[in-house]
Amino acid sequence: MNEEEYMKLAIKLANKARGRTSPNPLVGAVVVKEGSIVGRGFHKKRGEPHAEINALNDAGGNAKRGDLYVNLEPCNHYGMTPPCTKAVIESGIKRVFVGIEDPNETVAGGGIQCLKKNGIDVKKWILKKECQRLNEVYIKYITEKRPFVILKSAASLDGKIATRNRDTRWITNEKSRTFLHKLRNEMDGILVGIGTIKADDPSLTTRLNGRGGKDPVRIIVDSRLNIPLEAKVLNKESNAKTVIATTDLANREKIKKLEELGEKVIVVGSENNRVDLRELMFELGKLEITSLLIEGGAEVNASSLESGIVDKVMFFYAPKIIGGTEALSMVGGEGVKDLDEAIIIKEIKTRRFGDDILMEGYINR
């Protein structure tokens, strides 16, 4: 194996903890000596040992004079755990291969410099792009203090998310819906508008056939606080919190009632009598919500895109044609006037889930 293959293994290890390390990054580490892998590890959960520590413990005495591959720069500060650089130095590792520098200002190159000062050879930026993609959520959160946002929608082949009678179940197939629950399992939060709550009364939980999925924080955008008190997201069938984002248009007594139920109400500014989504993102960042899945209807989808909060889109298409000018499309609002104003999606990838097709890509900034 070459250095890129070892780094690919570190990335694969890191991915095992996706959805479990927030607000920490995904990190995997591999210890190699004389061409053989002698230690592997990854950061499993916030507060638990970092990937380097787990890999070094796995390697034991074999780490001495070996190489360490890690997708993110080792930390050089005390947090919930001691600095990893100290353990690396004490292990006798002679070389460290790093994917990317940690954007956290408390690390930001300090880990690499510490290793170099202690006589360890450091080779940087192995599979840099892949390592950046692995931690795209962490990078955005740590640098911008707001979550990485994925806009997900499911539609017929002609782009309809409901019939003219607002029938939505089920446009996509079971394989697509299972994938969606896997995605929810990896996210810190899930956001819908009050229209979805009133129309479908969803639980917004993760259902993975008994495999212990994690429920994301449920975030409801509700500018006038019209949410019914009997809504499923306000019931305690899940341990996940519910956050209701509203504006000064909300009834104060209703706010009090919701808070008495144990729910968190966030009052933010309004834009055209709607919740200011950009301001809301910073409020969610304060709650350490690093990743957010938007599963709204046509209007929430439009507002999210217009506000510029979306980083990535995931659009599922089922082989059905619904038709009808009154049938809801994936994105509502006024739309753009001219094609040169259209939002461009880059780095497009497609996947198949039975007969359904998923198209995903990133917003071109």
Alpha-carbon distance of 179 to 177, in angstroms, equals 5
- Residue 36: strand pairing partners: 33
Alpha-carbon distance of 250 to 263, in angstroms, equals 15
Q: What is the DSSP letter of 76?
A: -
Strand arrangement of the beta sheet that strand 36-42 belongs to: 36-42, 28-33, 67-72, 95-100, 121-123
The answer to whether residues 62 and 92 touch, using CB atoms and an 8 Å cutoff, is no
- Which tokens go with 64? 């001495």
Q: How do 121-123 and 95-100 pair as beta strands? A: parallel
Alpha-carbon distance of 28 to 229, in angstroms, equals 44
Q: Is 288 a catalytic residue?
A: no
Alpha-carbon distance of 214 to 267, in angstroms, equals 27
Nearest-CA neighbor of 150 among 356, 276, 295?
A: 295
Q: How do 264-267 and 242-246 pair as beta strands? A: parallel
Composition of the chain by helix, strand, coil, percent to 5: 30, 25, 45
Q: At residue 110, what is the residue type? A: G
Place of tokens 């290793």: 115
Torsional sign, CA 161, 164, 166, 170: negative
- List C-alpha distances in Å: 254 to 183, 196, 227, 265: 32, 19, 9, 10
From the list 4, 5, 52, 295, the catalytic residue is 52
- Let me know how long the chain is: 365
Alpha-carbon distance of 154 to 181, in angstroms, equals 14
**Hey, which residues are catalytic here?**
52
